[in-house]
Amino acid sequence: MAVKPMNSKEVAQKVMNKENLFILDVRNVDAFEDWKIEGEKFEYLNIPYFDLLDGVEEIMNQLPEEKDILVVCAKEGSSIMVADMLSEEGKDVSYLEGGMKAWSEHLEPVKVGDLSNGGELYQFVRLGKGCLSYMVVSGGEAAIVDATRMANVFIDFAKEKFATITNVFDTHLHADHISGGRTIAEATGATYWLPPKDAEEVIFEYAALEDGNTVVIGNTTIEISALYSPGHTIGSTSFVVDKKYLLSGDILFVDSIGRPDLAGKAENWVGDLRESLYKRYKDLSMELTVLPAHFMIIDELNEDGSVGEKLGTLFAKNHGLNIESEEEFRMLVSENLPPQPNAYQEIRETNMGKVTPDEEKQREMEIGPNRCAVR
């Protein structure tokens, strides 16, 4: 039987549609346990490639008969070889085109909703990394919030919508992934906005994103209003879009809250985090839909593949928003931190403009799961 490639877009559709898929992951055990392709109805078998060099006969009885089988490795090569061996044994299998590197970079656009006077809001779901980016489209103009480094995806999408990118925002200086904001702004002539309190060490020009900034997109009344909300970083800024949506950056997630330690200042910033969540956000409309910059687990995806929830629902259900004691909150935040993201210091320096790694190095720096939340 012929071995077929399956690209990241096809895998993403299976995730979004909650389809069945059996994944044979041939990476080393530690790599698999740290980070894998997640799907609500996916099943997994992890057998390192080196254990299969002498043949696949011993694992044939562990593979299903009636489900699609996808062989996955880091870069593609090993999965092709294993898929070929399985094919010779009579199995109908596919391999992941480009491997986990390609999966890490795939962005899946999802329409979140309509805005005033014909505007639209899109969420770009980076399933392999847990990153979420946004595009507001209105009156032939577009604004992007928290873009990932795959700049062409956003530029091409705006062209499809016949929109000119006029403004690009980062809610904070990211530490877990390389921002595409500056690249997009340079390519399109858009204004690049960054909170000045996060930008003290950056070495490029930017527009100061500060509390109360209002940027109108298109010739409509769609406003992006900045709300200072420190805690994840000292400059973290949220956005209220069209009085309907709260883009919370890395301060508040659907299932958790942001971590305050990625600049080495956890003790100083825990108080800021609590004040942003328990005071600033508490004063907002509970009807706002919270749209974060990350998600942690695949269960956070809604039926349409988007990630978001009403602020009122989060105040009722998110444990991080329901801790009365400030001391208990401090303990939760300081004692439940996951490992630091891979190469986070290098990523911060890249986002400051201090270093410019080549594309392959940038891929390596970002490999692995999102780790921006308190567990």
The 3-class SS string of 254-319 reads: CCCEECCCCCCCHHHHHHHHHHHHHHHCCCCCCCCEEEECECCCHHHCCCCCCCCEEHHHHHHHCH
230 and 297 together in one domain: yes
375, part of any domain: no
Q: Would you state the pLDDT for residue 296?
A: 87
In contact, 250 and 258? CB cutoff 8 Å? yes
Residue 246 has which token pair? Answer: 């709260």
Would you say residue 298 has pLDDT above 80?
yes
275 and 318 together in one domain: yes
* pLDDT class of 335 with cuts at 50, 70, 90: confident
- φ, ψ of residue 131 in degrees (nearest 5): -90, 145
Say how far apart CA 20 and CA 53 lie, in whole Å.
Answer: 28
80 and 134 together in one domain: no
371, part of any domain: no
Model pTM score: 0.93
Say how far apart CA 320 and CA 308 lie, in whole Å.
Answer: 16
Higher-pLDDT residue of 235, 155 = 155
115 and 85 together in one domain: no
Residue 44 has which token pair? Answer: 């997994």
In contact, 32 and 56? CB cutoff 8 Å? no
Q: Would you state the pLDDT for residue 176?
A: 87
pLDDT digits (tens, 9 = 90+) for 28-55: 999 999 899 999 999 999 999 999 999 9
Q: Would you state the pLDDT for residue 175?
A: 87
181 and 265 together in one domain: yes
Say how far apart CA 171 and CA 234 lie, in whole Å.
Answer: 11
212 and 87 together in one domain: no
17 and 59 together in one domain: yes
Q: Would you state the pLDDT for residue 373?
A: 67
pLDDT digits (tens, 9 = 90+) for 1-27: 678 999 999 999 999 999 999 999 999
Q: Would you state the pLDDT for residue 222?
A: 62
pLDDT digits (tens, 9 = 90+) for 63-78: 998 889 999 999 999 9
Residue 46 has which token pair? Answer: 């992890």
What separation in angstroms does the CA of 91 have from each of 2, 8, 59? 9, 21, 12
Say how far apart CA 168 and CA 191 lie, in whole Å.
Answer: 6
Q: Would you state the pLDDT for residue 221?
A: 55
Task: Kindly list the catalytic residues.
Answer: 73
Which of 69, 103, 137 represents a domain boundary (last residue)?
103
What's the CATH code of the domain at 92? Answer: 3.40.250.10
182 and 303 together in one domain: yes
What's the CATH code of the domain at 330? Answer: 3.60.15.10
78 and 183 together in one domain: no
361, part of any domain: yes
> What secondary structure letter does DSSP report for 127?
T
Range of the domain at 86: 4-103
* pLDDT class of 227 with cuts at 50, 70, 90: confident
Say how far apart CA 316 and CA 48 lie, in whole Å.
Answer: 43
What separation in angstroms does the CA of 94 have from each of 9, 73, 126, 265? 14, 12, 22, 46
94, part of any domain: yes
* pLDDT class of 246 with cuts at 50, 70, 90: very high
Number of domains in the chain: 2
Which of 86, 103, 120 represents a domain boundary (last residue)?
103
372, part of any domain: no
312, part of any domain: yes
Q: Would you state the pLDDT for residue 146?
A: 97
- Cβ neighbours of residue 53 closer than 8 Å, sequence gap 6 or more: none
Instruction: Over range 343-367, report the average pLDDT.
Output: 90
Which of 103, 125, 157 represents a domain boundary (last residue)?
103
71 and 111 together in one domain: no
50 and 195 together in one domain: no
Work out the number of other CB atoms within 10 angstroms of the CB of residue 334.
15
Q: What is the rounded average pLDDT for all residues in the chain?
A: 91
190 and 278 together in one domain: yes
Instruction: Over range 134-161, report the average pLDDT.
Output: 97
Q: Would you state the pLDDT for residue 262?
A: 53
Q: Would you state the pLDDT for residue 375?
A: 57
Instruction: Over range 204-215, report the average pLDDT.
Output: 91
373, part of any domain: no
Higher-pLDDT residue of 365, 164 = 164
Residue recorded with tokens 């979004």: 16
- Judging by beta carbons within 10 Å of its beta carbon (0-12, 13-18, 19+), is residue 168 exposed, middle or buried? buried
* pLDDT class of 349 with cuts at 50, 70, 90: very high
Helices (H) and strands (E) in the chain, counts: 11, 18
Residue recorded with tokens 């399109």: 188
